[in-house]
């Protein structure tokens, strides 16, 4: 028998809509906070009971609503925020769908109380399971108080999906924190079961961000301020050494709205790809601002997703801005950190580094003497080559250097200074203007090689070194497959193979960059990497993976004795290498100990 079509009753319609908008207390809270922001509030107070399940109360000092509009406010698709399609296409408010209060009215015991500045007193309105009551007078200062009690009391199936009070509270707190980060000029407080959890007075963006993310983040972050014709990107990103196990400190906002956006996530991750250890999560807090017409916020009922009109441009802009910040050479990034001990000083004055090596082109200190360093004319005309030549020249000059270098105070020293010696075959100790520099030689060398390899690969200049006697290599079927799938890549990098049998190949050529190293282990490790991380990823990512493994293999091993000139050469290369503040796995490569740090250690007043 055919079942006739019937229009659904209003309450059921609202309950269905509520399913999309209000999934749990946190989503209700988010909607209420957005309404307060849209109303221009400068003070928002949140009170939750039992994780918000029993009660969510949001009080604000915004513009309020006149008595006559209270009924409309709790009706579906009634809004003061947009009027037509044109408005919808350039929404500048947090809300616009006119669904939140109607949804809450359908699934909770809702009270809306509000007062506009012209009104002699406030009015309130109750909605109980969709039944709208009478508008009646009440006492309240200018602003609005929304109170939603007993969430899902009349939709028991939904109520069953709620988690424990603690979990629901945690989600509510996250929602409140996102608003707090995005609107630092608004005072905001959170109370749970009568206890105040936190409160923030109006603050600057930076102060609010650091208050929420903590001192450790504050001490390890870079500020981002980039703009492009159509967009701007502001906020803070953590240096790779401050990585996290989870995504708990990842905040992206588009025009003030917290969003989880795959495109932004991807751009951010890609900019960290080279400096962050696999499996670690970066921490960041980024605000993308653009003309509202360039981003569609009407994609998702909870407005947690957006769609950019020109997603490629947004991706590139974000990636380049962050990549630039993270790539700044060792001398510019403040690698030294508060950890392991607080006495490690902050960073080097960047002015000192920017003037270098120009400042020392004419003269440099070797021992206690200045040595004139001259460049052939053609080199001086090619700034890109100066660094390399400089290093060669210096190597020659330094060969005759005394074992320990005494630097004069007025010496213009390069940022990472001159080597003093090697510590237990692992660290290089160097003296620079600020004091002592300690370098993890393997980590630093690994980064230098990696950047060099990448550059060569990008320029398609990876030379191949044929082996006089090809080396036989036993290969499992799975490895074989990986090798075949990535053949072009291996060739590009300078490897060449010949097939001996289905389970044996011959390595005929290896990348010249590897110098005299045994290719066996390296190839095996590269295949392991590929199988672990999958061949499905972009060629460039796979390539970098392989290059990173190559760099690790080729880098100086612990316990190899280096001569002072070799150590100095390494320091000079670090200064010229992008991202040299971290090794390929995101660990720091060097620390600065300022004289004042050392003085403090020895309680030596200066
Ligand atoms: P939307 O925010 O999408 O417009 P809501 O259901 O959240 O829809 O709110 C409906 C209307 O009620 C809003 O457009 C706004 O005019 C009014 N309103 C809601 N909350 C507040 C508030 N805290 N202060 C002032 N007006 C409010
Ligand atoms: Mg709203």
What is the tens place of the pLDDT at every residue in 422-467?
Answer: 998 899 999 988 889 999 998 888 888 888 888 888 887 777 888 8
pLDDT greater than 80 at residue 333: no
How far is ligand 2, taken at its centre, from the CA of residue 6, in Å?
30
How far is ligand 1, taken at its centre, from the CA of residue 73, in Å?
6
Q: What order do you get walking across the sheet with 435-440 strand by strand?
A: 418-423, 427-431, 435-440, 590-594
How far is ligand 1, taken at its centre, from the CA of residue 196, in Å?
26
How far is ligand 2, taken at its centre, from the CA of residue 35, in Å?
5
How far is ligand 2, taken at its centre, from the CA of residue 9, in Å?
23
Task: Indicate the pLDDT class of residue 606, thresholds 50, 70 and 90.
Answer: low
Contacts of 44 (CB under 8 A, 6+ apart): 33, 36, 37, 58, 59, 60, 179, 186, 187, 188, 189
Ion ligand 2 neighbours (CB, 5 A) are: 35, 95, 100
Task: Indicate the pLDDT class of residue 555, thresholds 50, 70 and 90.
Answer: confident
pLDDT greater than 60 at residue 126: yes
- Pocket probe for ligand 1: among 38, 67, 96, the residue whose CB has the most ligand atoms within 8 Å is 38
Tokens of 21: 């908008």
Give the atom of ligand 1 at the shortest distance from the alpha carbon of 63: 25
pLDDT of residue 597: 84
> Is the sign of the CA dihedral 352, 357, 363, 369 positive or negative?
positive
pLDDT of residue 368: 33
Closest ligand to the CA of 79: 1
Max avg pLDDT among 245-249, 298-302, 456-460, 551-555: 245-249
pLDDT greater than 80 at residue 372: no
pLDDT greater than 50 at residue 166: yes
pLDDT of residue 348: 30
How far is ligand 2, taken at its centre, from the CA of residue 101, in Å?
7
Nearest CA to ligand 1 atom 27: 35
pLDDT in tens, 26-71: 999 999 999 999 999 999 999 999 999 999 999 999 999 999 999 9
pLDDT greater than 80 at residue 334: no
pLDDT of residue 499: 87
pLDDT of residue 363: 33
Tokens of 507: 């390595």
- Pocket probe for ligand 1: among 17, 63, 95, 147, the residue whose CB has the most ligand atoms within 8 Å is 95
Please, are residues 527 and 418 in contact by the beta-carbon 8 Å criterion? no
Closest ligand to the CA of 82: 1
Specify the higher pLDDT residue, 470 or 378: 470
Specify the higher pLDDT residue, 534 or 235: 235
Give the atom of ligand 1 at the shortest distance from the alpha carbon of 58: 23
Mean pLDDT, residues 91-108: 91
Max avg pLDDT among 3-12, 482-491, 556-565: 3-12
pLDDT in tens, 167-182: 999 999 999 999 999 9
Buried b (16+ CB within 10 A) or exposed e, 51-67: bbbebbbbbbbbbbbeb
Closest ligand to the CA of 17: 1
Average pLDDT, the chain: 81
Could you give the C-alpha distances from 151 to 71, 313, 458, 499, in angstroms and in order?
20, 42, 57, 68
Mean pLDDT, residues 7-21: 84
pLDDT greater than 50 at residue 157: yes
pLDDT of residue 422: 92
Specify the higher pLDDT residue, 599 or 389: 599
Cβ burial, residue 115 (10 Å; 0-12/13-18/19+)? buried
In this structure, how many other beta carbons lie within 10 angstroms of the beta carbon of residue 561?
A: 8
Which residue from 575, 591, 583, 597 is spatially nearest to 413, judged by alpha carbons?
A: 575
pLDDT of residue 433: 87
pLDDT of residue 185: 96
Give the atom of ligand 1 at the shortest distance from the alpha carbon of 94: 2
Specify the higher pLDDT residue, 550 or 328: 550
Closest ligand to the CA of 78: 1
Percent of the chain with pLDDT over 70: 83
pLDDT greater than 90 at residue 340: no
- Pocket probe for ligand 1: among 101, 115, 147, 148, the residue whose CB has the most ligand atoms within 8 Å is 101
pLDDT in tens, 576-593: 888 877 777 777 888 888
In this structure, how many other beta carbons lie within 10 angstroms of the beta carbon of residue 277?
A: 16
Nearest CA to ligand 1 atom 10: 73
How far is ligand 2, taken at its centre, from the CA of residue 39, in Å?
10
pLDDT greater than 70 at residue 1: yes
DSSP 438: E
Task: Indicate the pLDDT class of residue 494, thresholds 50, 70 and 90.
Answer: confident
Percent of the chain with pLDDT over 90: 38
Which residue from 248, 245, 237, 246 is spatially nearest to 271, judged by alpha carbons?
A: 237
How far is ligand 1, taken at its centre, from the CA of residue 79, in Å?
6
Task: Indicate the pLDDT class of residue 15, thresholds 50, 70 and 90.
Answer: confident
Give the atom of ligand 1 at the shortest distance from the alpha carbon of 146: 23
Q: Which residue(s) pair with 199 in the sheet?
A: 189
pLDDT of residue 536: 52
In this structure, how many other beta carbons lie within 10 angstroms of the beta carbon of residue 553?
A: 18
pLDDT of residue 602: 85
Mean pLDDT, residues 499-514: 84
- Pocket probe for ligand 1: among 35, 74, 104, 146, the residue whose CB has the most ligand atoms within 8 Å is 35
How far is ligand 2, taken at its centre, from the CA of residue 196, in Å?
25
pLDDT of residue 517: 62
CA distance 21 to 303: 9
How far is ligand 2, taken at its centre, from the CA of residue 417, in Å?
58
Mean pLDDT, residues 78-83: 89
For the CA atoms of the chain, what is the radius of gyration? 31
Ligand 1 neighbours (beta carbon < 6 A): 31, 35-36, 39, 60, 62-65, 73, 79-81, 95-102, 144
pLDDT greater than 70 at residue 19: yes
């Amino acid at each position: 028998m055919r079942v006739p079509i019937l229009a659904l009753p209003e309450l059921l319609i609202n309950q269905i809509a509520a399913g999309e908008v209000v999934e749990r207390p946190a989503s209700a809270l988010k909607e209420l906070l957005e309404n307060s922001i849209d109303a221009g509030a400068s003070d928002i107070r949140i009170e939750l009971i039992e994780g918000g399940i029993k009660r969510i109360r949001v009080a604000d000092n915004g513009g309020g609503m006149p008595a006559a509009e209270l009924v409309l406010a709790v009706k579906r698709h009634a809004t003061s925020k947009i009027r037509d399609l044109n408005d919808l296409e350039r929404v500048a408010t947090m809300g616009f769908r006119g669904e939140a209060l109607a949804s809450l009215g359908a699934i909770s015991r809702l009270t809306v109380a509000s007062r506009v500045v012209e009104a002699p007193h406030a009015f309130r309105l109750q909605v109980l399971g969709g039944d709208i009551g009478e508008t009646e007078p009440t006492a309240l200062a200018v602003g609005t108080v929304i109170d939603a009690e007993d969430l899902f009391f009349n939709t028991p199936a939904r109520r069953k999906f709620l988690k424990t009070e603690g979990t629901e509270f945690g989600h509510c707190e996250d929602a409140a924190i996102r608003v707090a980060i995005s609107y630092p000029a608004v005072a905001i407080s959170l109370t749970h079961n009568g206890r105040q959890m936190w409160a923030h007075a109006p603050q600057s963006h930076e102060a609010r961000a650091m208050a929420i993310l903590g001192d450790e983040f504050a001490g390890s972050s870079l500020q981002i301020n980039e703009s492009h014709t159509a967009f701007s990107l502001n906020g803070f990103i953590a240096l790779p050494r401050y990585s996290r196990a989870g995504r708990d400190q990842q905040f992206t906002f588009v025009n003030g709205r917290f969003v989880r956006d795959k495109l932004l996530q991807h751009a951010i991750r890609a900019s960290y790809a080279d400096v962050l250890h696999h499996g670690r999560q970066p921490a960041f807090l980024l605000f993308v601002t653009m003309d509202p017409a360039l981003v569609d916020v009407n994609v998702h009922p909870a407005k947690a997703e957006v769609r950019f009109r020109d997603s490629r441009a947004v991706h590139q802009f974000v990636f380049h801005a962050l990549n630039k910040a993270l790539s700044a050479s060792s001398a510019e990034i403040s690698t030294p950190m508060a950890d392991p001990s607080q006495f490690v000083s902050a960073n080097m004055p960047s002015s000192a580094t920017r003037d270098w090596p120009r400042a020392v082109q004419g003269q440099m200190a070797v021992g206690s003497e200045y040595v004139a360093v001259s460049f052939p004319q053609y080199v001086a005309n090619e700034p890109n080559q100066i660094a390399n030549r400089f290093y060669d020249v210096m190597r020659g000059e330094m060969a005759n250097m005394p074992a320990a270098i005494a630097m004069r105070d007025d010496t213009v020293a390069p940022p990472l200074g001159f080597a003093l010696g090697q510590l237990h075959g692992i660290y290089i100790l160097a003296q620079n203007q600020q004091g002592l520099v300690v370098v993890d030689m393997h980590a630093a060398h690994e980064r230098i090689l990696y950047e060099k390899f990448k550059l060569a690969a990008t320029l398609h200049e990876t030379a191949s070194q044929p082996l006089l006697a090809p080396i036989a290599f036993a290969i499992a079927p799975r490895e074989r497959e990986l090798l075949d799938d990535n053949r072009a890549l291996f060739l590009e990098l300078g490897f060449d193979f010949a097939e001996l049998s289905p389970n044996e190949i011959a390595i005929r050529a290896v990348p010249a960059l590897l110098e005299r190293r045994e290719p066996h282990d390296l190839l095996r490790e590269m295949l392991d990497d590929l199988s672990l991380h999958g061949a499905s990823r972009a060629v460039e990512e796979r390539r970098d993976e392989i290059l990173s493994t190559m760099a690790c293999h080729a880098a100086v091993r612990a316990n190899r004795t280096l001569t002072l000139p070799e150590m100095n050469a390494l320091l000079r290369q670090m200064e010229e290498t992008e991202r040299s503040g971290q090794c390929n796995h995101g660990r720091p490569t060097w620390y600065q100990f300022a004289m004042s740090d050392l003085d403090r250690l020895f309680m030596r007043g200066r």
